């Protein structure tokens, strides 16, 4: 992403990613147990357009402004943030294996960023 010069290039790339995903996944929709209703389609479009596309856009903008190492470390910690948010907001139980995994990720980020 650092090679892209403008926001327009990053938006074009993002549009291409979503378009390819839609083309690849569309044939699989015939195997669905039932066809989505109009209401389902509206919410799928809203979900794809706002939180998903906005998150990807903000991620690409941030990745273009920081070093590759920083972007990679932020990406690795996003797993931990997702784990914590699912426990807080969805009431997902925190299993020992998940806690160990989150701890290992945080420890790896710490080792990578500490001064020699």
Question: Per-residue pLDDT tens for 23-81?
Answer: 888 888 777 777 778 888 888 888 877 777 788 788 878 878 888 788 888 888 888 88
Q: What pLDDT band is residue 3 in, cutting at 50, 70 and 90?
A: low
Identify whether residues 56 and 103 lie together within a single domain.
no
- Which whole-number Å values give the CA distances from 104 to 24, 71, 73, 93, in the listed order? 35, 18, 13, 19
From the number of C-beta atoms within 10 Å of its C-beta (0-12, 13-18, 19+), residue 82 rates as exposed
Identify whether residues 77 and 56 lie together within a single domain.
no
Q: Give the mean model confidence (pLDDT) for residues 8-19.
A: 82
Identify whether residues 73 and 39 lie together within a single domain.
no
Give the number of residues written for the chain. Answer: 116
Report the pLDDT value the prediction gives residue 4, as an integer from 0 to 100. 63
DSSP code for 52: I
Report the pLDDT value the prediction gives residue 100, as an integer from 0 to 100. 95
Query: Nearest Cα to 111, choosing from 69, 66, 68?
Result: 69
Identify whether residues 11 and 22 lie together within a single domain.
yes
Report the pLDDT value the prediction gives residue 91, as an integer from 0 to 100. 92
Domain of residue 53 covers 1-65
Identify whether residues 59 and 72 lie together within a single domain.
no
């Amino acid at each position: 992403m650092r090679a892209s010069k403008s926001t327009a290039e990053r938006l074009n790339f993002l549009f291409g990613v979503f378009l390819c995903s839609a083309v690849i996944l569309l044939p699989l929709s015939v195997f669905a147990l039932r066809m989505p209703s109009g209401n389902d389609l509206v919410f799928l479009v809203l979900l794809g357009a706002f939180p998903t596309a906005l998150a990807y856009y903000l991620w690409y903008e941030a990745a273009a402004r920081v070093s590759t190492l920083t972007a990679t470390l932020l990406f690795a910690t996003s797993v931990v943030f997702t784990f914590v948010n699912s426990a807080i907001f969805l009431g997902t139980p925190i299993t020992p294996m998940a806690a160990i995994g989150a701890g290992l990720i945080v420890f790896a980020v710490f080792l990578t960023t500490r001064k020699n």
